[in-house]
């Protein structure tokens, strides 16, 4: 776990209405009512075909460290709106409920429960803000990072966005999410220190400007780092001075030592053209193995464009447009009440809206993924009631819950329940995997997707279906509410 999360108390990082509602639950005798909430999202960023779940480790750390200090309670008391018994309750406040979630790195789709909470009303309500902030942010960055990685078509991608991120924590956890989703390293040293995502980097233009000449700057850098010399060649003129001076430094410093340069970096101008000319010059000088790195406000679309132009680029550094997901900067995850317990029974709840997309799917549910046994590809996801069991030996009919005439019967399949237990009665029952394990799991998850789902433009729609029983339950509740209006 991250040291920073252990040391920082994020308990009051909540919307103020979480506190007013929790106080109200106590006053109204509802604080111990058992509630169920789902975290899910509605649309995939950048109109993509899928998203990637990320942030569960930080949720676990938050839950384990959840407590109010005396200073917190005195602050809340100063607001003069909270009942004294509510403030007393906060002194021993802990999470004592259950949480299920899909593992980090799981490929996810709209309107399916990524994380489900069962807890006393006062606990389930209170954790909403931090849960949303964490899951929405890291899932957003993981999803964007994977788009960039796929655009690079096997070339190295490094995350370079720390200085343009929305604060230090966004930079650090965003880099973590990006590494899980497939980038090869990050410029953020703290992310390496805390989460073991490899830190990478060489020089800025200021290094070159610090010396009397560009050649002198390159020479001194090669002397400092003969085993990893990577020179930034666009401070003055890439073709006329940058690449020639780099080659001269390689020849005069590295070659006598029997060393080979790591590469050069282009950070401005017509990178496609410059990379082709630089490749010619490096090859002519005998440095066929010298890599060409490119940076400068890149994203998946610019990278795809460079590759289509035949740019001679071996690796990309991607900064602001990745760490902020600039083209689609909001992950619209929500946290909605889906059921309560009354007299020992789970009673479903539904939210209705004139905006059809905001009508929730009620009840405590299971989330299944269907895989084709022949090729291992994911075919569809299914939401079902807890008592429903999928018989893999029989054909199963899936239907689009929004257009029920669209039906598909699948055979020769296997299923997997995507959610796993994380907390039981407030105790962690899940083994948190290391970042390399999560990263590998994410890679394996992506291999289960059809190429059509991974398209950048007009991706194939991956269906999240409802079982017949769940669909009936949802429409029965809709009908009940319509009759009472």
Domain extents for the chain?
A: 3-141+329-484, 148-323
CA distances from 301 to 55, 148, 193, 268, 364 (A): 26, 8, 31, 17, 40
The average confidence (pLDDT) of the chain is 96
Longest dimension (CA), the chain: 87
Q: Give the tens place of pLDDT for each residue, 117-173.
A: 999 999 999 999 999 999 999 999 999 999 999 999 999 999 999 999 999 999 999
- State mean pLDDT over 92-100: 98
Q: What is the pLDDT of residue 438?
A: 98
Q: What is the pLDDT of residue 118?
A: 98
CA distances from 167 to 60, 132, 244, 342 (A): 22, 18, 39, 44
Alpha helices per DSSP H over 152-238: 168-180, 189-195, 205-210, 214-224
Percent of the chain with pLDDT over 70: 98
Q: What is the pLDDT of residue 481?
A: 83
pLDDT at 478 over 70: yes
Q: What is the pLDDT of residue 8?
A: 82
pLDDT at 3 over 70: no
Buried b or exposed e, range 348-363, using 16+ CB within 10 angstroms: bbbeeeeeeeebbbbb
Extended strands (E) in 18-70? 34-41, 51-52
Alpha helices per DSSP H over 108-200: 121-126, 128-151, 168-180, 189-195
Q: What is the pLDDT of residue 1?
A: 44
Cα angle: 433, vertex 435, 441; to 5 degrees: 75
pLDDT at 418 over 70: yes
CA distances from 449 to 57, 372, 412 (A): 25, 11, 17
CATH classification number, 148-323, choose in 3.20.20.70, 3.40.50.1000, 1.10.287.130, 3.50.50.60: 3.20.20.70
pLDDT at 483 over 80: no
For the domain 3-141+329-484, what is the CATH code? 3.20.140.10
């Amino acid at each position: 776990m991250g040291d920073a999360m252990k040391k920082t108390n994020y308990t009051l990082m909540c919307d103020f209405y979480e506190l007013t509602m929790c106080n109200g639950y106590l006053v109204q005798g509802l604080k111990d009512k058992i509630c169920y909430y789902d975290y899910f999202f509605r649309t995939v960023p950048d109109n993509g075909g899928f998203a990637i779940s990320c942030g569960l480790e930080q949720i676990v750390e938050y839950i384990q460290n959840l407590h109010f200090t005396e200073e917190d309670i005195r602050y809340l008391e100063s607001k003069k709106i909270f009942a004294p018994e509510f403030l007393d309750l906060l002194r021993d406040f802990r999470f004592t409920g259950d949480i299920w979630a899909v593992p980090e790195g799981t490929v996810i789709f709209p309107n399916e429960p990524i994380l489900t909470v069962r807890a006393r009303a006062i606990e389930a309500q209170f954790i909403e803000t931090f849960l949303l902030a964490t899951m929405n942010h890291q899932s957003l960055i993981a999803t964007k990072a994977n788009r960039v990685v796929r655009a690079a078509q096997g070339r190295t991608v490094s995350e370079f966005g720390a200085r343009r991120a929305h604060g230090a924590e966004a930079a650090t956890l965003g880099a973590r999410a990006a590494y899980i989703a497939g980038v090869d390293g990050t410029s953020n040293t703290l992310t390496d220190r805390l989460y073991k995502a490899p830190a990478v980097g060489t020089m800025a233009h200021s290094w070159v400007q610090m010396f009397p000449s560009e050649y002198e700057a390159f020479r001194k850098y090669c002397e400092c780092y003969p085993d990893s010399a990577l020179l930034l060649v666009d401070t003055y003129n890439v073709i006329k001075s940058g690449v020639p001076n780099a080659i001269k430094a390689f020849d005069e410093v590295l070659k006598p030592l029997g060393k080979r340069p790591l590469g050069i970096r282009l950070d401005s101008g017509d990178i496609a053209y410059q990379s082709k000319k630089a490749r010619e010059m490096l090859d002519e000088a005998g440095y066929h193995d010298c890599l060409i790195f490119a940076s400068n406000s890149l994203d998946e679309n610019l990278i795809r464009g460079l590759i289509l132009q035949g740019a001679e680029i071996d690796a990309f550094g991607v900064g602001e447009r990745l760490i902020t997901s600039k083209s689609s900067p909001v992950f619209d995850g929500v946290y909605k009440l889906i059921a309560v317990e009354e007299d020992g029974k789970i009673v479903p709840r539904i939210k209705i809206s004139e905006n059809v997309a905001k009508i929730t799917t009620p009840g405590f549910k299971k989330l299944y993924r269907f895989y084709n046994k022949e090729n291992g590809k994911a075919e569809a996801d299914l939401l079902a009631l807890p008592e429903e069991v999928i018989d893999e030996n029989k054909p199963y009919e899936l239907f689009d819950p929004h257009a029920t005439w669209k039906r598909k019967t699948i055979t020769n399949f296997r299923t997997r329940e995507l959610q796993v237990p994380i907390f039981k009665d407030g105790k962690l029952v899940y083994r948190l995997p290391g970042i390399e394990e999560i990263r590998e799991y994410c890679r394996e998850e992506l291999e289960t997707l059809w190429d059509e789902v991974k398209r950048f433009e007009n991706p194939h729609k991956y269906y999240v279906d409802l079982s017949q029983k769940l669909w009936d339950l949802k429409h029965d509740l809709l009908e009940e509410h319509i009759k009472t209006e």
